[in-house]
Structure 1
Amino acid sequence: MDSENADESAVLDTLDKQIIHGLVTDARIPFARLGGILGVSEQTVARRYRSLRRRGMIHVAGQMNTVPLGRTRWILRIRTAPNRAVALAEALARLPDVSWVSLLANGFEVTCVCRPRSAERQEELLLRMIPRAGQVLELTVHEVMRQFPFAEEWPRYSDLLTAAQLRELGPRPPMWEPRGPEKSVELSRADEVMLAILGRDGRASYAQIAAATGWSASRVARRMSELVESGVLYFDLDFALERMGYVTRAWIWMRMRPGDLETVGRAVATHPEVAYVAATTGTANLMAAVVCNDTAHLYRYVTDSLGALPEINDVQVLSALRMFKQSQTLLDDRKVGVVP
Structure 2
Amino acid sequence: MRECATSAPRATSATALGSTLDELDLELITALQVAPRAPWAQLAGPLGVDAATLSRRWARLRDSGTAWVTCYTGASQVAYGALALIEVNCLPQDREALAAECARHPQALSVEMVAGSSDLLLTVATRHRVAMTEYVLALGRIPGVTGTRTHLVQHLHREASQWRFDSLSRDQQRGLPASGAGPRPDPGPVTAEERRLILALAPDGRRSLVSLAAELGRPEATVRRLLAGVLSSGKAVLRCEAAQPHTGWHTSFTVWMSVPPAALAGAAEELAALRDTRLSASTATEA
Normalised-by-shorter TM-score class: 0.7 to 0.9
**Paired residue for 1:314?**
none
Matched, 1:208 2:211: yes
SS in 2 for 1:202: coil
Deviation at 1:83, TM superposition (A): 4.0
1:59/1:224 CA distance change after superposition, 3 Å: same
Structure 1, 146-155 or 232-241: larger mean CA deviation: 146-155
Q: Is 1:184 matched with 2:194?
A: no
Q: What are the equivalent positions in structure 2 for 1:213-224 lying under 5 Å apart?
A: 213-224=216-227
Alignment TM-score, normalising by the size of structure 2: 0.79
Q: Is the 8 A contact 1:19 1:45 kept in 2?
A: yes
How many residues of Structure 1 are paired with residues of Structure 2 in the alignment? Answer: 268
The answer for the alignment partner of 1:94 in structure 2 is: 104
Structure 2 CA distance for partners of 1:194 and 1:185, relative to 1, 3 Å = closer
Q: What secondary structure sits across from 1:105 in the alignment? A: coil
Residues 112-151 of structure 1 aligned to structure 2 (within 5 Å): 112-126=122-136, 128-149=137-158
Distance 2:208 2:46 in 1: 22
Q: Alignment partner of 1:215: what SS?
A: coil
Q: Distance in 2 between matches of 1:173 and 1:24?
A: 14
The residue that corresponds to 2:166 in the other structure is 157
1:234 partner letter: V
Residue 271 of structure 2 is matched in structure 1 by 268
Structure 1 residues 183-229: Cα deviation after superposition (integer angstroms, max 9, x where no partner): 333213xx454333311211111111122223222221111111223
Superposition deviation, residue 240 in structure 1: 1.0
Is 1:169 paired with 2:176? yes
- Segments of 5+ residues of structure 2 without an aligned counterpart are 1-18
1:236 aligns with one of 226, 234, 239: 239
TM-score, normalising length from structure 1? 0.68
2:81 is matched with 71
C-alpha deviation, 1:241, in angstroms: 0.5
| Counterparts of 1:268 and 1:36, CA distance in 2 | 35
Correspondence for 2:46 among 25, 33, 37:
37
Larger RCO of the pair (alpha carbons < 8 Å, separation 6+): 2
RMSD between aligned alpha carbons? Answer: 3.1
Equivalent pair of 1:24/1:172 in contact (CA under 8 Å):
no
Structure 1 residue 25: Cα displacement: 0.9
Mean Cα deviation higher: 203-212 or 106-115: 106-115
Separation of aligned partners in 1, 2:214 and 2:160: 37
In structure 1, the residue matched to 2:11 is none
Measured in 1, the distance between the counterparts of 2:75 and 2:161 equals 23
Q: For residues 89 and 40 of structure 1, what CA distance do their matches in structure 2 show?
A: 38
Q: CA deviation at 1:63?
A: 1.7
8 Å Cα contact 1:150/1:270 also seen in 2: no
Task: Name the larger-Rg structure.
Answer: 1
Deviations 1:100-143 (A, max 9, x none): 222332485322111013455323213x3123334343332111
Q: Which runs of 5+ in 1 are unaligned?
A: 1-9, 285-340
- The alpha carbon displacement at 1:174 in A equals 7.6
SS at match of 1:133: coil
Note closer, same or farther for the CA distance 1:21–1:174 as it changes in structure 2 (3 Å cut).
Answer: farther
3-state SS in 1 of match to 2:142? coil
Change (3 A) 1:150 1:91: closer
Which residue is equivalent to 1:53?
62
Say whether the 8 Å CA contact 2:153–2:284 is kept in structure 1.
yes
Measure the CA separation in 2 of the matches of 1:150 and 1:138.
Answer: 27
